[in-house]
Structure 1
Amino acid sequence: MSFFVAESYPFELSFYELEQQLQQLLKTVRPANCWEENEGITDLSRHLITINGKKYAEYRIYQATFFPLTQQSIEIPSVQLKMQQIRPAAKPGGERGKEIVTYATRPLSIHVKPLPPHPLRDQVAVGQFRLIETILRKNAAVGQSVNYNFRLTGEGNIASLAAPVVPDSTTLDIFPPSEKQVINRSGGVVSGYKTFSYALIPRQNGTFRLASYFQWIYFNLRQERYDTLHSAITLQVGGTALPEGDTVRVSLPGSIYTGIERIDSSKQPFDWQQMLRSVVNILLVSMILGMMYLFWRK
């Protein structure tokens, strides 16, 4: 949203109570059915541009990228901006005339195209993305933690990118990831990356293709079709396997659950202190009842 002043405009214009007007303007133009990535314009600097051979001064007021969240059209209503117009004096040294003039935009309606049929149509991201992955080590021993980074980079709604859905596995423990994102907003394009960092702990020897665990589906705008990014890394595990029924989650050094699978829950320890407290309480209650009985007999 910009205000344009033709170079040939005969009067001087200045902004009038812009802060108060902007609050209402932005409240009006922001559609409720969209995710907004605001470029955060803070300086109303003057830019000289040419449109159809005519020179203008552009004052950019607001710039953002909208990502539709529903199939409803994006409706941006007409908004008004009041400016102070100063006319030249009728005679040299005379008083210059000032008046408030109002400029209005035309309403906009943006059609939102539905995505092609797909089981995950309402869940996938839309844009242009690629996968960059790194792993701490490709060769590990059973029970050894491996750091794996799954980074999605490209153009789209970076902030809303969801982590890949990881299936359950009996051979590999995969802990919930930590997330880190960097978003760039420039020239109407939102780009950047989002990284999901996982801790992987193998439970047995073997060769594990991480593509079996890490896949990410999105709609590719350039190719206009669904696409899948999947890992190209293979993890080689060698070493002593864990005992049957054991889990790395509870066998990590220092864990309060270490060895819990070997404890017989049917054998409860005897608490002598609790037993002594119970006996004392019973004796005290008996003494009180006895005193009450003697008092009643008298």
Structure 2
Amino acid sequence: MAAGAYAQNLELNAYVDRTTIGVNQQFELNVELSGTDANRVPQPDLPDLTAFATFIGSSSSQNIQIVNGRMTVSKTYTHHFIATKVGKFRIPAIVLRYKGRTISSDPIEIEIVKTSGGGPPQAGQNRGRREASNDLSELLFLKATVSKRRVYQNEPVVVSYKIYTAVNVTNYGISQLPNMVGFWSEEFELPQRPRLYTEVVNGRQYRVAEIKKLALFPQGPGEKTVEPLVIECEVQLPRRRRRDLFDSFFDDPFFGRSERRVIRANPVQIEVVAVPLKERPADLSGAVGSFSLRAAVDKSRVKTNEAVTLRVDISGSGNIKILPQPKVNFPADFEVYDPKINESITRKGAAITGNKTFEYVMIPRFAGEQIIKPIRFSYFDLASKSYRTLTTDPIRVSVEKGAQQFSNVGMAASKEDVKFIGKDIRFIQIRMPEFKRVGRVFYKSAIFYALLVLPLFALAGAVGYRRHVERVQADVAYARSRKANQMALKRLKKAQKKLGEGESKAFYAEVSSALMGYIGDKFNVAAAGLITDQVETMLRERGIQAETVSNYIDCLQTCDYKRFAPTEADRDEMKAFFDKARKAIIALEREI
């Protein structure tokens, strides 16, 4: 049976130090027992390898760890062989019988090749030959794994990037992030210092660390490719020396040399299928996952002209950021303000979870029993592979007459402004005519003296303008900051053109470019690398008023949502948002 039968108490693994071996060269076969019962079992018997190798000796090592009062033992038996025959061979599974059960390792494939030297190896010869090689592809690589290869549109795909190493990696850094075109991505929180563990791949033992983990939400159907992640590593190798009696001493990493290596992960293909058209709800927003819906008011009994808050909360697992604003049918007698939207996202474990809250402030104007009709939210449920529609209960609000009550006549009256249609009485001119003082001359007037000093002011202005031009040419940051508002308005003109053409996605993309471009120009940073959270932090650190920051961030978040939303926005909605974005830029310009 499989080794997992006693996975908690005893595990058995077998691996070799390398899978390609030169004939007459030495190699190691390691048998590792781990678990609380590792010290209680005898040494496993080795399979017969005489067809291609000669046994020359064994050694053993033991490691004991006590964590939270629980002892774990790891015992390794190292068997040394010399390869004697060229060809491809299989080391059979190592079998151990324990407590009436059979535990076995996986078989290992090896290849024995010809070498230039035919004599038996001397001490340290094999290691020196391997380390002299510049090819570390079998000793160091980056692997991308995905949770699923076939998903629905907007269904999360968890991509994990792990580094596998059989050499000493002293440092690493990400040099190129994968291109996420066609995906909405959320990055999981990982420990600052990656957790190391061991894994056997193709008969070789590696140290493994997960360095990046993403949840990708595909935005459209079709074949999608997750591009490779590229990292640079500092690899420590033993110093190359002539073979002598001190090889084992100088093989210590302290005397090693460092090399920089660039490794890239494998690209991954993902098939994305569209959600079914059959039985698709009319109010489907494109949400995919598992969600719940709640709605409540902060008080059910109020007086007229007294504010009451409706809180609508959508929570669950999926792409929380693209959840749309629910459609709420408010009573006609309620004055309702735009909602305050809050998001809380948890990026831990193997799923993206969280909630999105919409808070509406309502002011009832008339007394009576008012009812907020049930709120609906539809999504595609991944567990049942079907559509689900969530509905809240009707919400009743009892409104009593307050101290100030609008009259029905006043509300029924026309709101049209009174127009000025003319005058039927013309008044007689009653002002005194203008008189000029006798003997008054121009060269003694204030205007004359003002004209005398005007050239001086003009000269000072020219000097100041010249200095401004020189600074613009020499100081890139100053130039970008001065032209930030002008460049943002130019970008908004492109968005206005897309508005006229009715292209919703392109419109929101241009507005987003104007908003991010303004921040990039104003603070002399690359707009392409900015994210919404970073922009908010930069503005708050510079003492910008909270309301101005909130309006600006709200515009950026609206652009992100509308660009990837499955539905198109209407022209009136885009026009109102265009005015809001322009005012947000102007307000920020006044405060910086």
Give the TM-score normalised by structure 2: 0.37
| Counterpart check, 1:228 vs 2:389 | yes
- Residues 1:86 and 2:237 are matched in the alignment: yes
Q: What is the distance in 1 between the residues matched to 2:347 and 2:332?
A: 42
Alignment pair present for 1:155 and 2:317: yes
**Contact map agreement 2:295 2:312 (CA 8 A) in 1:** yes
Give 1:238 shift.
Answer: 3.9
The answer to whether 1:108 aligns with 2:268 is yes
Q: 2:305, 2:274 → 1: CA distance? A: 46
Greater relative contact order: 1 or 2 (C-alpha under 8 angstroms, separation 6 or more)? 1
Matched, 1:66 2:228: no
In structure 2, C-alpha distance between the alignment counterparts of 1:235 and 1:55, rounded to whole Å: 66
Please name the residue that 1:46 is paired with.
Answer: 195
The Cα of 1:186 is off from its aligned counterpart by 0.7
Worse-matched range after superposition: 57-66 or 44-53: 44-53
Contact 1:172 1:200 in 2 (8 A): yes
Checking the alignment, whether the CA contact within 8 Å between 2:218 and 2:272 is kept in structure 1 is yes
Letter in 2 for 1:216: F
Instruction: Quote the offset at 1:13 in angstroms.
Output: 3.7
Q: From the superposition, tell whether residues 210 and 107 of structure 1 become closer, same or farther in structure 2 (CA, over 3 Å).
A: same
- Count of residues paired in the alignment: 257
CA contact (8 A) 2:311 2:359 kept: yes
| Matches of 1:23 and 1:283, distance apart in 2 | 82
Q: How does 1:241-260 map to 2 (within 5 A)?
A: 242-244=406-408
Matches within 5 A, 1:263-278: 265-266=418-419
Shift of residue 283, structure 1, vs aligned partner: 5.3
SS state at 2:328 partner: coil
Q: Is the 8 A contact 1:12 1:87 kept in 2?
A: no
Map of 1:198-213 to 2, 5 A cutoff?
Answer: 198-212=360-374
Going from structure 1 to structure 2, the CA distance change for 1:142 and 1:120 (only over 3 Å counts) comes to: same
Against the structure 1 CA distance between its residues 109 and 262, is the aligned structure 2 distance closer, same or farther, given a 3 Å change threshold? closer
Whichever residue aligns with residue 267 of structure 2, its letter is: P
User: What CA distance in whole angstroms lies between the structure 1 residues aligned with 2:357 and 2:379?
Assistant: 16
- Partners of 2:271 and 2:394 in 1: CA distance: 41
Tell me whether 1:33 sits opposite 2:182 in the alignment: yes
* Distance in 2 separating the partners of 1:124 and 1:245: 45
Question: C-alpha separation between the residues in 1 aligned to 2:349 and 2:430?
Answer: 80
Cα deviation for residue 108 of structure 1 reads: 0.7
List per-residue Cα deviations over 1:208-234 (Å, max 9, x = no partner).
44234x332222222323323333252
Cα displacement (A) at 1:40: 5.0
Give the residue type in structure 2 aligned to 1:71.
P
Look up the match of 1:197.
Answer: 359
Where structure 2 has 5 or more consecutive residues not aligned to the other structure, the ranges are 1-160, 437-592
More helix by share: 2
Q: Distance in 1 between matches of 2:378 and 2:276?
A: 14
| Cα distance change of structure 1 residues 98 and 266 upon mapping to structure 2, 3 Å threshold | closer
Distance in 1 of aligned mates of 2:395 and 2:334: 13
| CA RMSD in angstroms, aligned pairs only | 3.9
* Residues 165-207 of structure 1: per-residue CA shift (max 9 Å, x gap): 2347523332211011111101231111111111123344444
* Code of the aligned partner of 2:378: I
TM-score (norm 1): 0.69
Q: 1:74·1:110 contact (CA, 8 Å) conserved in 2?
A: yes
- What CA distance in whole angstroms lies between the structure 2 residues aligned with 1:99 and 1:55? 22
The answer on 1:76 being equivalent to 2:76 is no
Tell me if structure 1 keeps the 8 A contact 2:168–2:237: yes
Q: Which runs of 5+ in 1 are unaligned?
A: 248-259, 289-298
* Residue in structure 2 matched with residue 141 of structure 1 by the alignment: 303
Distance 1:43 1:210 in 2: 48
CA contact (8 A) 1:86 1:96 kept: yes
Shift of 1:144: 2.8
Aligned equivalents of 1:72 and 1:279: distance in 2?
83
AA matched with 2:197: L
- Of the structure 1 ranges 74-83 and 192-201, higher mean CA displacement relative to structure 2 is found in 74-83
